[in-house]
Amino acid sequence: MRRSIRSLALPLVALVALACGDRAPPPEAAPEPPSAPPITVVDDAGRTVRLPRAARRVVSLAPSHTEIVFALGAGDRLVGRTPACDFPPAARAVPPVGALFPPDYERIIGAAPDLVLMLDGQIDVRRRLEAQGLTVAVVQPRTLAAVAGAMRRVGRLLGVDGEGPAARFEAGLAAAGRAAGSDPPRVFYEVGPDPLFGAGPGSFIDDLIRRAGGRNALGGDAEWPQVSTEQLIAAVPDVIVVGGAARRDAVKARPPAGWQALPAVRGGRVLAVPDPDLFNRPGPRVLDALRWLADALHR
Shared domain for 159 and 183, answered yes or no, is no
Q: Which residues pair with 117 in a beta bridge?
A: 60, 137
The predicted pLDDT at position 20 comes to: 41
Shared domain for 171 and 57, answered yes or no, is yes
With cut-offs at 50, 70 and 90, classify the pLDDT of residue 185. very high
Shared domain for 197 and 114, answered yes or no, is no
> Could you say which of 140, 175, 210 is where a domain stops?
175
Listed range (13-22, 157-166, 180-189) with the worst mean pLDDT: 13-22
Higher pLDDT, residue 131 or 246: 131
| Residue 185 belongs to domain with CATH number | 3.40.50.1980
With cut-offs at 50, 70 and 90, classify the pLDDT of residue 12. very low
Q: What is the CA radius of gyration of the chain?
A: 31
With cut-offs at 50, 70 and 90, classify the pLDDT of residue 60. very high
The predicted pLDDT at position 193 comes to: 86
Residues 88-97 have a mean pLDDT of 97
With cut-offs at 50, 70 and 90, classify the pLDDT of residue 15. very low
With cut-offs at 50, 70 and 90, classify the pLDDT of residue 28. low
As a whole number of Å, the end-to-end CA separation of the chain is 122
CB-count burial class (<10 Å; 0-12, 13-18, 19+) for 289: buried
Shared domain for 191 and 162, answered yes or no, is no
Shared domain for 277 and 182, answered yes or no, is yes
Shared domain for 208 and 168, answered yes or no, is no
* DSSP state letters, 28-82: PPPPPPPPPPPEEEE-TTS-EEEESS--SSEEE-SHHHHHHHHHTT-GGGEEEB-
| Average confidence score pLDDT of the chain | 87
Listed range (56-65, 94-103, 213-222, 256-265) with the worst mean pLDDT: 256-265
> What's this model's pTM, rounded to 2 decimal places?
0.84
The boundaries of the domain holding residue 285 are 178-297
Angstrom distance (rounded) from CA 30 to CA 25 = 15
Q: Which residues pair with 192 in a beta bridge?
A: 197
With cut-offs at 50, 70 and 90, classify the pLDDT of residue 93. very high
Specify the number of domains making up the chain.
2
Residues 176-201 have a mean pLDDT of 90
With cut-offs at 50, 70 and 90, classify the pLDDT of residue 1. very low
> Could you say which of 132, 155, 175 is where a domain stops?
175
Q: Percent of the chain, pLDDT > 90?
A: 70
Q: Using an 8 Å Cβ cutoff, are 152 and 166 in contact?
A: yes
